[in-house]
Amino acid sequence: MESNSQIIPICGIIPAYMPDKKLTELVQEVLQLDFLEQIVIVDDASGKEFKNIFLELAQLPGVTVLHHAVNQGTGGATKTALNHILYEYPNVVGAVTFDADGQHLSKDVKNVVEAFNFNQENLVLGVRNFHDGKIKIPLRSKLGNRITEMLFAVLTGIRLKDTQTGLRCYNRAMMQKCLTIIRNRYEFQLEALLCCAAESDIVQVSIETIYEDNNRRSHFNPLLDSIKIYFVFFRFTAASLISSLTDYIIFSIMLLCGCSILWSLGIARITSVSLNFVLARNKVFKSNGNIFKQIVKYMLLALFLVTTSYFAITVLKTKLSWSPFFSKFIVETALFLCSFLVQRMFIFPKSNKIKYSAGSNL
């Protein structure tokens, strides 16, 4: 990639928890390349035994070290640095975050920043290659990233190569957006992707895939932190589940009042479909497309779903003697994913695109 003739002011951010001497070496390498306005390192309550490392870092020109009295996780440390930069450096147009555990090389950080120079309105990610058979990647990392990659693609329509990368470059508006995220630990990374992807395109830059000593230096807990990360997805679909619950409650009440299955389904669906449309358009997919076209498409989908649901529940009741309450639950669960995918792809399609930096081999 050719260097931009005009380097824009960008700060670096490194959340650090119990780092070793390699962090100092990485920072010195980045400083020598001279492409960052300032590097802000956040000591996330590492402890007294790591005091000398942070003192040494603080003495380097172009480095600011901030300290947490209580550990707040990578998200909390990142937000502390973002807030500091936004307040202290009004001329800075973006910030690049990278890890303190040796997974990111100085050249890769520079490549991501250079890509941002040409794509300042977009989120830029440094992505690893988890499909390279020549690199020994821990199973926990490969499996965790693959699952998150599939879930992210299903729920957002965006296919990323590396959803857990800590090497990212945010513009100033995204930095402000990230400060509104409640989550502080590893799930912050995924929620930041969701927030930024809703309003911008994503540029992917290929970086080195590094896993030293089976990635034992990483503070990522493969079980606990993965559960926290995936929980973001469940919150992301909560609006759709609210309308489904509303539909089920109204259906049950109407049925208990002596109404037929058809009438119960109809009243329940008319009530819940309006709620679902508003939530889906404004909260889930954040669409600003033509509302009249979306209403027509949505009503056609609702008609299809209620028709399918009616016949399926009727068949299960008459042929298998299933309770209509249980049948309703089974049928609606099966139709939920179908409904979500149709809404995401055809009713509220995402206009954002995935881009690759010049020279990327992704």
Structural domain spans, the chain: 10-236, 238-347
The region of weakest confidence among 15-29, 31-45, 116-130, 154-168 is 154-168
Q: What confidence tens digit (pLDDT) does each residue in 50-76 have?
A: 999 999 999 999 999 999 999 999 999
Which pTM does this prediction carry? 0.68
Ranges of beta strands (E only) in the chain are 10-16, 38-43, 63-67, 94-97, 123-127, 168-171, 202-206, 354-356
Task: Report, as an integer, the average pLDDT of 161-179.
Answer: 93
Task: Report, as an integer, the average pLDDT of 225-243.
Answer: 64
Q: What average pLDDT is seen over the chain?
A: 83
Is the pLDDT at 30 greater than 90? The verdict is yes
Under CATH, which number does the domain 10-236 receive?
3.90.550.10
How would you write 95-125 as a 3-class SS string? EEECCCCCCCCHHHHHHHHHHHHHCCCCEEE
Q: How far apart are CA 42 and CA 295, in angstroms?
A: 48
Is the pLDDT at 198 greater than 50? The verdict is yes
Is the pLDDT at 314 greater than 80? The verdict is yes
Q: How far apart are CA 76 and CA 234, in angstroms?
A: 21
Q: What is the DSSP string of 270-334?
A: HHHHHHHHHHIIIIIS---S-HHHHHHHHHHHHHHHHHHHHHHHHHHHHHH---HHHHHHHHHHH
Task: Report, as an integer, the average pLDDT of 341-359.
Answer: 65
With beta carbons less than 8 A apart as the criterion, state whether 95 and 37 touch. no
Q: How far apart are CA 190 and CA 164, in angstroms?
A: 7
Is the pLDDT at 18 greater than 60? The verdict is yes
Tokens 């990639």, residue located: 1
pLDDT for the residue 61: 96
Instruction: Specify the higher pLDDT residue, 207 or 210.
Output: 207
Instruction: Specify the higher pLDDT residue, 276 or 315.
Output: 315
Nearest-Å Rg of the Cα atoms of the chain is 24
